[in-house]
Amino acid sequence: MFGSMMDRPLLVSSLLEHAERQFGSTEIVSRETSGALHRYTFLEAAKRSRQLACALAQLGVTHGGRVASLAWNNHRHLEAYFGVSGSGAVLHTCNPRLHPEQLAYILNHAEDEVLLFDTTFLPLVESIAAHCPMIRQYVLLGGGQDMPKDSRIPNLVCYENLLAACAGDFVWPEFDERTASTLCYTSGTTGNPKGVLYSHRSTILHTFAVSLPDTLSLSAHDCLLPVVPMFHVNAWGLPYAAAMNGCKLVLPGPKLDGASLYELIEGERVTCSAGVPTIWLGLTQHMEQHDLSLSTMNRTVVGGAAMPEALIRTWTQKFGVEVRHAWGMTETSPVGTQGSLLPKHANLTVEQQCAQRAKQGRAVFGVEMRTIDADGNEQPRDGKAIGELVVRGPWIAAAYFKGEKPALRDGWFPTGDIATIDADGYMHITDRVKDVIKSGGEWISSIDLENAAVGHPAVLMAAVIGLRHPKWDERPVMFIVTKPGQTVDKAEILAYLADKVAKWWLPDEVIFLDALPLGATGKVQKMELRHQYADMLDCPA
């Protein structure tokens, strides 16, 4: 027997309608490409999103048609989030940091019909337009004054003109909640990028989960700053969550350096923010150099890569900001875990609490999580047994766009992360499968080594890779970027690590670099380091 409740579809447009009615005067502030701040309200955002939906219909975009975006976190991109998906089309957010060839590949693979792009990306679009025959219409996200005098791009129109030609009386259509809403490709560090196709239903359920007290704890009293790009897994769902909860939304545009972020956080009275660890590293440096403090920000969600414990301590103790470590992937919408503490942790010292926060956290309701061995057997939840992390839930990908299937293990998505889970459900990632270091038959955690090294006062960033070794199979090699003006040598690093990790974990080599190679989403490209230094230890024993 079924329940007798209404079967109303969960649609992205309903978030904006809700915001318009309950939080119409709530502000959305966004940094323009020019650097100026643009301000308006949810009321205006809702009207312009409807105008966009109407304009897309006039351009011939139909239900399920794909509209791509190449844009920063700004108000026009926000309108695309709601206007494109709300109309029943699919917003394909593209990462502008992808190699142009890869970008052309995903635009073609997605069969995008329209490309919306910020002025910054004009040269990039000009360079790939000839390779993207399916794009019928290019739309520059700006006004008439932003249009190039003569451009090689065919069918180029300006966004503001498109909108001006449409009234704001578009009525959001209703359709099946399982309809695709957005498309985001994995960064494709190995092989071609793969498309993850989110649905309206998965997006709304994920938005509820992101808003929960132990996740972001969002309300109309919050001012939310998503530093995580809107082209990367829907900015972790924060633009939707801002609409659901009526948060003031601050969008940082292209300026992600420490000084610009600090100015925005203080100037707009941001309470909650989210981004990858490298972003917080930049802000930390800026604040430490200028002896600054934060007056309103009280929590930040960090994920995408492990947040080193030393950085968590700085933010907790020095800046008074609660760090919520989260784990996720493009295939998981992305939020899978969050690292808030439990009542039992209240009596721990601050240092112990920070160590707890350095774990990737507990599954958010809706996500089931376990670790398995090579034969697929579930590993004990004892905080010690390591295995591959597998997950399942209503916002986890069951397939990639155009049918390519991930190799599900008994219905669970294999994440490619190696982790432990403890009795309280705290998951701790030790490595990605492809980064694991196997030395003499035992595993060394590159992430634990990196986190330990970053605790040294002279170390800004660290990366550890396993390199082929004639005797031990593989041995760890550490790469270090020091803080400006600081020096340290191999002996001092090894001495510093000596009481923090097992002796046989100590890296065979410590190499100092000016910078680590970073990928399209700001993560260290270990593959590049492995490639460059492959033979380093491969000498006769």
* 415 lies in the binding site for ligand ADP (CB under 6 A): yes
* 360 lies in the binding site for ligand ADP (CB under 6 A): yes
Instruction: Tell me the three state secondary structure of residue 224.
Output: strand
The only residue of 327, 401, 413, 426 in contact with ligand ADP, by rule CB under 6 A: 327
User: What does the angle CA 215 – CA 220 – CA 222 come to, to the nearest 5 degrees?
Assistant: 60
Distances (CA, A) of 509 to 90, 456, 470, 475: 48, 17, 15, 9
* 432 lies in the binding site for ligand ADP (CB under 6 A): yes
505 catalytically annotated: no
**How far is the C-alpha of 234 from the C-alpha of 217, rounded, in Å?**
18
186 catalytically annotated: yes
**How far is the C-alpha of 56 from the C-alpha of 44, rounded, in Å?**
18
DSSP summary character for residue 509: E
* 333 lies in the binding site for ligand ADP (CB under 6 A): no
* 186 lies in the binding site for ligand ADP (CB under 6 A): yes
| H-run or E-run covering 353 | helix 350-357
Tell me which residues in 500-529 interact with ligand ADP (CB under 6 A). 521, 523
- Check: CB of residue 445 under 8 Å from CB of residue 438: no
* 94 lies in the binding site for ligand ADP (CB under 6 A): no
**How far is the C-alpha of 99 from the C-alpha of 256, rounded, in Å?**
20
**How far is the C-alpha of 447 from the C-alpha of 181, rounded, in Å?**
35
β-sheet bridge partners, residue 306: none
Of the two residues 324 and 381, which places its CB atom closer to ligand ADP in the complex? 324
Of the two residues 158 and 527, which places its CB atom closer to ligand ADP in the complex? 527
**How far is the C-alpha of 272 from the C-alpha of 114, rounded, in Å?**
34
Maximum Cα interatomic distance, the chain, rounded to a whole number of Å: 75
Stretch that binds ligand ADP, among 16-24, 88-96, 135-143, 412-420 (CB under 6 A): 412-420
* Set 44, 126, 266, 443: catalytic member: 443
Spell out the alpha helix ranges (H) of 269-332: 277-289, 309-313
331 catalytically annotated: yes
Show Cβ contacts of residue 78 under 8 Å, excluding neighbours closer than 6 positions. Answer: 28, 30, 45, 49, 230, 239, 249, 251
**How near is the Cβ of 86 to ligand ADP at its closest, in Å?**
25
Of the two residues 73 and 245, which places its CB atom closer to ligand ADP in the complex? 73
Of the two residues 142 and 328, which places its CB atom closer to ligand ADP in the complex? 328
* 284 lies in the binding site for ligand ADP (CB under 6 A): no
Of the two residues 45 and 183, which places its CB atom closer to ligand ADP in the complex? 183
Cα 473 off chain centre by:
34
**How near is the Cβ of 461 to ligand ADP at its closest, in Å?**
15
Contact pattern for ligand ADP over residues 287 through 326, marking x by CB under 6 A? ----------------xxxx------------------xx
Of the two residues 153 and 305, which places its CB atom closer to ligand ADP in the complex? 305
**How far is the C-alpha of 182 from the C-alpha of 188, rounded, in Å?**
18
Of the two residues 80 and 301, which places its CB atom closer to ligand ADP in the complex? 301
Stretch that binds ligand ADP, among 42-50, 374-382, 390-398, 411-419 (CB under 6 A): 411-419
φ and ψ of 35, to 5 deg? 105, -20
Of the two residues 142 and 522, which places its CB atom closer to ligand ADP in the complex? 522
- The DSSP bridge pattern shows strands 272-275 and 248-251 to be unpaired
**How far is the C-alpha of 35 from the C-alpha of 259, rounded, in Å?**
13
* 85 lies in the binding site for ligand ADP (CB under 6 A): no
The only residue of 11, 156, 209, 429 in contact with ligand ADP, by rule CB under 6 A: 429
DSSP summary character for residue 154: S
Show Cβ contacts of residue 145 under 8 Å, excluding neighbours closer than 6 positions. Answer: none
Kindly state the number of chain residues that form the binding site for ligand ADP, as judged by CB under 6 A: 21
φ and ψ of 519, to 5 deg? -90, -170
Stretch that binds ligand ADP, among 156-164, 185-193, 279-287, 347-355 (CB under 6 A): 185-193
The only residue of 49, 215, 217, 330 in contact with ligand ADP, by rule CB under 6 A: 330
438 catalytically annotated: yes
**How near is the Cβ of 530 to ligand ADP at its closest, in Å?**
16
**How near is the Cβ of 485 to ligand ADP at its closest, in Å?**
29
Cα 85 off chain centre by:
20
User: Which residues does the annotation mark as catalytic?
Assistant: 186, 331, 438, 443
List contacts with ligand ADP (CB under 6 A): 186-187, 189, 303-306, 325-330, 360, 415-417, 429, 432, 521, 523
